[in-house]
Each structure stands twice: as structure tokens, then as C-alpha cells.
Amino acid sequence: MGFLEELFGKGKEEPTKPGLPFKISTSLRPVRLSARKESSLELLVSIKNVSDSPVLTSVLAEVPKSLGFENVGMAKIKEIRIGELPPSKEKTVSFSICSNFQTPPGTYSVVVTVNQHYRDYSHIQNYAKKSVEIRAV
């Protein structure tokens, strides 16, 4: 079933690492972008709190030079602050990733970072990075 899930944009959950209070899974809708055209897709990032206490969480996505978070392609980094994620709860955030007329065909890597904060958003206690491959055809 793994092949079909990957084909239709369903990502895999990363195993819980020692000290990491959440599981991360990603998916893409649709599964690819159009090269040399204005097109967009949604990168869905699901975060599940697997700890026994609430976690102050934010998600950061960074796209390569040829892509952007809007049609113009100026913004390359976007952060979404989730707030306190209660124990055993899951939250899904969405990033809209766009290609434009200058995007050549190829595979692009988007880096997703999930941060665990301490007290406020300026203090990072722990983080996890995941790379998501996006194809432009």
C-alpha cells in the first residue's frame, strides 16, 4: 500500500525520536507542479503531540529559489504558529507552494521544520526537520 499512498500524495509518519514530543507526516495536493506555468499545490503538514503535556509549536517551510509561496515567488520562508498543542491531539497546517514562468522542470526539495518552543516563540527547545520532494513537469 506504500506505493499507492506515495503516488496519491499521502506521506509517511516519521518515528518518534528520543526527546521529540511529536510525529510529523506530510502530503501534497496535487502531487506535482507544472513547469514554466503559473501553478500551485498544497503542502499539508500534520503534527501529532505524542507527549503527556501541551507543546508550544510552530512550523516553518523553506522553498528553493525557483519556487515561492505566492505567484511572484518573492517569499522563500514561511512560518505558521500553531500555539499550544494538547496531548494526543493532531493539527494540520497548509502551505501553498507556487511555480511561475521561470520554474524549469525538475525535482525540488522543500525543508519543513517543526519547532518545540519554551515559554514563547523566541526560545526553541527542540526541533525536527523533514525534506519533501516536489516535482515540476
pLDDT in tens, 98-121: 999 999 999 999 999 999 999 999
At 123 the pLDDT is: 96
Contact 43, 111 (CB under 8 A): no
At 113 the pLDDT is: 97
Any idea where the domains of the chain sit in the sequence? 2-136
At 12 the pLDDT is: 44
At 24 the pLDDT is: 94
Q: Which residues of the chain have pLDDT under 50?
A: 1, 12-15
Question: How many whole angstroms separate alpha carbon 26 and alpha carbon 14?
Answer: 10
At 6 the pLDDT is: 53
Class of the CATH-defined domain 2-136? mainly beta
At 9 the pLDDT is: 56
